[in-house]
Amino acid sequence: MIEFTKLHGNGNDFIVINEFGKNIIPDDKKADFAVKYCNRRFGIGADGVLFISGSNKADMKMRLFQPDASEAEMCGNGIRCLVKYAFDSGHINVSTAMVETLAGVLPAETRRDNTGFWVRVNMGPPLTTRAEIPAKGDACDEFINVDMYGYTVSAINTGVPHAVIFVDDLDLDILEIAPKIRFDPIFPNGVNVNFVKVESDNMITIRTYERGVEDETLSCGTGSVACAYLAHKLKSIADEILVHTNGGVLNISISDDVTFMEGPAETVFKGTIPR
């Protein structure tokens, strides 16, 4: 039997497979495993499968496979869930940890209060040029305020690529609009699509369509960082920002262009599945 743990960060949910010391799912089978068990009717149901293992450069290594069989570079809500799992399982016993991802090694801090278990992650400085996204076309100036499909789009990479669109009203058909941008050839590796409403000097509300999931998710950690950073840069809001998502709230702070994300992580249940 294969043991798993289901966790979520603001409703963005993940299946965690512990591969410390042992490869449970062969690498060439991980994508198929995610397709099968992320299915919400015929599997466990999740936005992705997190594989946690040892690392020679950090306290742990994170790999994320998504429902469409793709492997993502990183995930903000996912890394918080991974750190909580590692803490609860005894793989780390301190309040700080280093996590190896395909987007680099990220430091995380944990705290617990009467509202739950919180993880704060140093997400580093975002990348904002077309060459760094990367995007199709001339490597060039910052890809900000470009018209696409009737919207003004800004592109940024906060571990994974994001398109950010500021709107006055979030009551829109995201499943009709977002896939056009997500699959546009200017983004050869695809892109997550975020719609943002600035609520006040230190608060925004966002909705996110995630590549790999190919649907709107209840929350996106890297998307929250992307939206908060660009709201700070382009809309001149504060550097301590409360981000409202459909699944809950994230705290994003910016210091000398380095971004920090803090949010909750919760265990849903544990179980086993046949090999």
Catalytic residues: 75, 220
Q: Where are the beta strands (DSSP E) in the chain?
A: 2-9, 12-18, 49-53, 60-65, 71-72, 96-101, 104-113, 116-124, 146-148, 151-157, 161-166, 192-200, 203-210, 215-217, 240-245, 248-255, 258-264, 266-273
Is residue 241 classed as helix, strand or coil in its secondary structure? strand
Is residue 96 classed as helix, strand or coil in its secondary structure? strand
The residue to which tokens 């799992």 are assigned? 85
Structure tokens, 51: 């594989």
d(CA 131, CA 97): 31
What's at 233, amino acid-wise? Answer: K
- Dihedral of CA 228/78/163/217: which sign? negative
Judge whether 50 and 17 are in contact, CB under 8 Å: yes
d(CA 244, CA 78): 18
The residue to which tokens 């299915």 are assigned? 39
Judge whether 209 and 179 are in contact, CB under 8 Å: yes
What's at 180, amino acid-wise? Answer: K
How many residues does this entry show for the chain?
275
